[in-house]
């Protein structure tokens, strides 16, 4: 029997994903000037990880940027409620000036996930379908450890909290940090190890924060990076991480996993040896999984 395609799989709602759309003849040029990855290198139907930085090189938002065509881009945000998407759209609009681009949060679009391989999307190329209900777009979100499909469509998806938690834990295990409000504008791309996802460029030219990113890249000045930790409970963002008697960093995001919880922390690269703790709770370092770069 043939394996069922993701098109026939049961999709569940990824209700913490929101979409901000950039449309107009200058959409690509605007995104190229504002975001940290090379938007001009994308072809129609392609996508990559990307983000928007403060002038000091701190990550305001991390997203998948999808190029539907020469005048349409979608930014797919994780851990974003309606207000967060609106705030990002409003923040970007402050820099439009005379560019021919419209920026809006798309409340009419919904994201769903399935733990199955996409039928046609592969790697960094999506699968777009145009129908009576509008655009439906599938993305390949698989990596080491399993296949996944993310679908963006006009129709709502069934809620499944357990499946959504499993999806979020998969993201975390592969080094894709969801940034809750308390963790925005704190960390550089290097501190979040976003080179693992190929989420930023040091070659494409100027964008907000580019000088800090390039200086750190070429001078090798990053002293902290992303670490994955596992413990008995789900760690809260901002909780201190220590090794022995030394504080080495803090939790960015946590997720529930079988038997306890995991967290991503920005921590000292040279943290030494000793008992690892998240707050007062015992923990252990766990290697980051790979394969989610695009």
Q: Is residue 190 part of a domain?
A: no
Whether 167 and 262 map to the same domain: the answer is no
| Domain's final residue, options 173, 200, 234 | 173
Domain hosting 49: range is 9-173
The tens-digit pLDDT sequence of the chain (294 residues) is 344 445 445 899 999 999 999 999 999 999 999 999 999 999 999 999 999 999 999 999 999 999 999 999 999 999 877 789 999 999 999 999 999 999 999 999 999 999 999 999 999 999 999 987 788 999 999 999 999 999 999 999 999 999 999 999 999 999 999 999 999 999 999 999 999 999 999 999 999 999 999 999 898 877 899 999 999 999 999 999 999 999 999 999 999 999 999 999 999 999 999 999 999 999 999 999 999 999
Q: Is residue 2 part of a domain?
A: no
Q: Is residue 61 part of a domain?
A: yes
Whether 34 and 152 map to the same domain: the answer is yes
3-state secondary structure the chain: CCCCCHHHCCCEECCCCEEEEEECCCHHHHHHHHECCCHHHCCCCEEEEEEEECCCCCEEEEEEEEEEECCEEEEEECCCCHHHHHHHHHHHHCCCCCCCCEEEECCCCEEEEECCCCCCCECCECEEEEECCEEEEEEECCECCECCEEEEECCCCECCHHHHHHHHHHHHHCCCCCCCHHHCCCCCCCCCCHHHHCCCCCCCCCCCCHHHHHHHHHHCCCCEEEEEEEECCCCCCCCEEEECCEEEEEEEEEEEECCEEEEEEEEECCCCCCCEEECCEEEEEECCCCCCCC
What's the whole-model pTM score? 0.94
Whether 64 and 149 map to the same domain: the answer is yes
Q: Is residue 193 part of a domain?
A: no
CATH number at residue 50: 3.30.1360.120
Whether 154 and 241 map to the same domain: the answer is no
| Domain's final residue, options 139, 173, 207 | 173
Q: How many domains would you assign to the chain?
A: 2
């Amino acid at each position: 029997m043939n394996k069922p395609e993701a098109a026939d799989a049961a999709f569940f709602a990824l209700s913490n994903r929101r979409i901000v759309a950039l449309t107009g003849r200058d959409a690509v040029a605007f995104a190229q000037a504002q975001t940290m990855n090379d938007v001009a290198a994308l072809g129609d139907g392609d996508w990559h990880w990307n983000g928007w930085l403060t002038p000091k090189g701190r990550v305001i938002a991390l997203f998948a940027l999808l190029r539907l065509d020469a005048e349409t881009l979608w930014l797919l945000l994780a851990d974003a409620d309606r207000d967060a998407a609106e705030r990002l759209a409003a923040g970007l609009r402050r820099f439009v000036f005379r560019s021919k681009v419209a920026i809006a949060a798309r409340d009419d679009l919904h994201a769903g996930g399935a733990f199955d391989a996409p039928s046609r999307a592969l790697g960094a190329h999506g699968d777009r379908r145009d129908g009576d209900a509008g655009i439906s777009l599938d993305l390949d979100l698989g990596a080491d450890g399993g296949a996944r499909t993310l679908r963006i469509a006009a129709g709502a998806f069934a809620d499944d909290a357990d499946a959504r938690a499993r999806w979020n834990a998969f993201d975390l295990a592969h080094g894709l940090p969801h940034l809750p409000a308390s963790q925005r504008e704190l960390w550089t791309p290097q501190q979040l190890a976003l080179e693992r996802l190929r989420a930023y460029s040091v070659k494409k030219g100027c964008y907000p924060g580019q000088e800090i990113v390039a200086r750190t890249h070429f001078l090798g000045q990053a002293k902290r990076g992303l670490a994955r930790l596992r413990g008995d409970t789900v760690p809260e963002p901002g909780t201190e991480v220590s090794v022995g008697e030394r504080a080495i960093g803090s939790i960015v995001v946590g997720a529930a996993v079988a038997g306890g919880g995991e967290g991503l922390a920005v921590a000292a690269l040279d943290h030494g040896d000793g008992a690892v703790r998240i707050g007062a709770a015992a923990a252990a370092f766990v290697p980051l999984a790979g394969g989610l770069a695009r």
